A and B are shown apart, each in its own frame.
Chain A
Amino acid sequence: NAGVTQTPKFQVLKTGQSMTLQCAQDMNHNSMYWYRQDPGMGLRLIYYSASEGTTDKGEVPNGYNVSRLNKREFSLRLESAAPSQTSVYFCASSNTGGGYEQYFGPGTRLTVT
């Protein structure tokens, strides 16, 4: 099993450009999450999907959109990138939400100039 995979690993964008970060899991988990980690900080939840077909805002959703494409895949889109979105983005999955262990992908390092 690959666990949680993310693409791309690195990305540089200019201000105003758009891009989509991809995440997939092969553990048959119901819930998936997107986090951002700024330098020297903990992780903050951007959006989550409790189950296929549902998405909800986390702590810092502004400037992002998400799509739960199917049970395996959860994408994060930046429509108009800003320098404040320079961060490392992590995707995670868990069996069913709050009461279960989360597993994380390797992260995407995004720089917006």
Chain B
Amino acid sequence: GIQVEQSPPDLILQEGANSTLRCNFSDSVNNLQWFHQNPWGQLINLFYIPSGTKQNGRLSATTVATERYSLLYISSSQTTDSGVYFCATVGASGTYKYIFGTGTRLKVLA
């Protein structure tokens, strides 16, 4: 099955800094989602982005499907951005079996 790897595993930033999180996948995909899990455990949808670029405020994401990776950009980070960021996908074969990466744990310091 498809493998999903995220980097870096941990990231500590000073408030106001920018960061890039990466998600690599081992096969073609027709679905790629980014989630933020906040410190209370809630999973928040950030982007549904099987290809191309999307922006939402200080966050943006780019998926280059042909090269099998996706990037999540966080600009002007805030303490509320702290938590774990996951990417998840299924293979292009149409399986319903979503695979999650192991996440990037972000801590933003005031």
- Top 10 A-B pairs ranked by shortest CB distance? A42-B100, A98-B90, A101-B48, A104-B43, A97-B96, A43-B100, A42-B102, A48-B96, A99-B30, A98-B96
- The answer to whether the Cβ of A41 comes within 8 Å of any Cβ in the partner chain is yes
Residue tally, chain A, CB below 8 Å to B: 26
Summarize B's interface: helix, strand, loop or mixed.
strand
From A33, which residue of chain B is reached at the shortest CB distance?
Answer: B98
Residue tally, chain B, CB below 8 Å to A: 24
**How close is B63's CB to chain A, nearest CB, in angstroms?**
14
* CA A56 to CA B45, docked complex, whole Å: 25
From A98, which residue of chain B is reached at the shortest CB distance?
Answer: B90
Contact B31 A100 (CB under 8 A): yes
Within 8 A of B (CB), among A82-113: 88, 90, 97-104, 106-107, 109
